[in-house]
Amino acid sequence: MNQLAEHIKSIVAISDEQLVKLCDRFVEKRFSKKEHVLHITNQVNEVYFILKGCVRTYVHDLNGVEHNITFSMEDWWFGDLQSYIKKTPASFTIQALEDLTVLAISRENWNVLLQEIPEFVEYTRVLFRNTMFSHENRILQNLSYTAEERYRYFLENYPNLSQRISQKHIASYLGITPEFLSMLRRKK
Amino acid sequence: MNQLAEHIKSIVAISDEQLVKLCDRFVEKRFSKKEHVLHITNQVNEVYFILKGCVRTYVHDLNGVEHNITFSMEDWWFGDLQSYIKKTPASFTIQALEDLTVLAISRENWNVLLQEIPEFVEYTRVLFRNTMFSHENRILQNLSYTAEERYRYFLENYPNLSQRISQKHIASYLGITPEFLSMLRRKK
DNA sequence: CTATTTTCTTAAACTACATTAATTTTTTTG
DNA sequence: CAAAAAAATTAATGTAGTTTAAGAAAATAG
């Protein structure tokens, strides 16, 4: 039984036959460190479940500056879901920060699963709901906390990620410059 | 046919019988301007669909300062969904900004609908997904835009809300002080 | 294992936004 | 409609975080 199957079983009750049918719709893909999984100009035809490695999802602002929206690692999903579903051009860029192994699923297969496997509908419903909650929490933090408090929260809640990801990218995720993050770290 | 039924039909295909069964699980409630729909200390047993009026959802930070997380108006849902679902104490406070009429649904009825009406599962799945998208967009804005840019975006995208809600509450939503917002407005 | 590139650090000058406090305008209420 | 309360404005002063630039440390590639 693979990681994806385990993840699904941790969220919804589902039979092993259904699970096999479900997992059959995914294909394994590999990317090397620094490689781009998604370019902003491309059409988006897949979303991904991470077996090994981590990625950053980012945008360029009007001045061309990059902003990391989110990091994803083992057993998390990533992709430009909005473009994937609405068939609009990608608005995010996604880059592997380590050598990366994923399970990819095409839009066609995604839609087939939604129609054929009610447990998949429920699984994605719970994923969306939980993502909504964590986004809510992040918005709240941006409003209420200083950069230093957000940094401490990040360290406490993602100790794993904070080891694997460069200061530069963490700073961008927190919405501050690497120089200011460096200053915060010295102070500690 | 009521507003809620219309809203559901705009998102999923559903028969009229099912719709009636669904709407029967809601009760209409009224709150007057400034009244609190939800206090932070209370247990959360309902979520709400707005028929008329608008509300703000906010938190108090560690210094007791209020921060508006979101505004909701006609045909939108609001409530502390996280507490509602997980039965944890409320973490948000919700206040009516105008006289308010809502359709309320209890946790028990919510769960009954999820089990009996697959269209409701799909409907809430799409709601969660869309909320996730708009939260994603807001996080991105907080990272990439200045207060002034965020204010202009708010004016353009919620012209309706910006007429109905005081500067003070808009400033809090944008993450700035009323004084600074006042200065931005003069500049324009 | 050395050379090159990238990341991290430090510090001085600068800016977007906060704080405080006083005044005016608007809204609410009896 | 008058009095009181709440919201908005203005301006001076203060601060969290940025910018720029240069040097040190670490990671990567040849």
Query: For chain B, which residues lie within 8 Å of any Cβ of chain A, measuring from their own Cβ?
Result: 59, 61-62, 65, 67-69, 81-82, 85, 118, 121-122, 124-125, 128-129, 131-133, 135-136, 138-140, 142-145, 172, 175
d(CA B7, CA B43): 28
Backbone angles phi, psi at A171, to 5 degrees: -55, -45
Query: For chain A, which residues lie within 8 Å of any Cβ of chain B, measuring from their own Cβ?
Result: 59, 61-62, 65, 67-69, 81-82, 85, 118, 121-122, 124-125, 128-129, 131-133, 135-136, 138-140, 142-145, 172, 175
Q: Which nucleotides of C are covered by protein (CB under 7 A)?
A: 7-12, 16-21, 28-29
Q: Which residues are CB-neighbours of B63 under 8 A, at least 6 positions away?
A: none
Question: Is-contact B138 B154, C-beta < 8 A?
Answer: no
Q: What is the pTM of this model?
A: 0.93
Contacts of B138 in chain A (CB under 8 A): 135, 139
- pLDDT band for A64, please (50, 70, 90 cuts): confident
pLDDT for the residue A20:
96
Helix intervals (H) in A71-177? 81-86, 107-116, 118-144, 147-157, 159-164, 167-174
- Which of chain A's residues 131-170 bind strand C, using a 7 Å CB cutoff? 166-168
**Which nucleotide minimizes the distance between its C1' and the CA of A149?**
D16
Condensed to tens digits (0 to 9), the pLDDT of residues B54-63 reads 999 999 998 8
Say which residue the tokens 């839609």 belong to.
Answer: A111
Pick B175's closest partner by Cβ from A59, A121, A142: A142
Does residue B153 reach within 7 angstroms of strand C, measured from its CB? no
Pick A131's closest partner by Cβ from B59, B132, B144: B132
Contacts of B85 in chain A (CB under 8 A): 129
pLDDT of A113 higher than 90: yes
d(CA A178, CA A176): 7
Contacts of B124 in chain A (CB under 8 A): 125
Q: In what order do the strands lie in the sheet with B66-72?
A: B36-38, B93-96, B55-60, B66-72
pLDDT of A188 higher than 90: no
List the single residue in A with minimal CA-CA distance to B122: A121
pLDDT for the residue B115:
95
pLDDT for the residue B1:
65
The kind and range of the H/E element at A70 are: strand A66-72
Size of interface A-B (CB pairs under 8 A): 80
Q: Which residues of chain B have pLDDT under 50?
A: none
Pick A135's closest partner by Cβ from B118, B125, B139: B139
Does residue B176 reach within 7 angstroms of strand C, measured from its CB? yes
pLDDT of A116 higher than 90: yes
d(CA B49, CA A133): 19
Q: Is B50 left (phi over 0), alpha (psi -120 to 50) or beta?
A: beta
pLDDT of A41 higher than 80: no
Say which residue the tokens 């929206």 belong to.
Answer: A69
Condensed to tens digits (0 to 9), the pLDDT of residues A120-172 reads 999 999 999 999 999 999 999 999 999 999 999 999 999 999 999 999 999 99
Compute the average pLDDT of residues A96-112: 97
Contacts of A61 in chain B (CB under 8 A): 144-145
pLDDT for the residue B64:
86
pLDDT for the residue A88:
92
The whole-chain average pLDDT of chain B stands at 95
d(CA A91, CA B112): 38
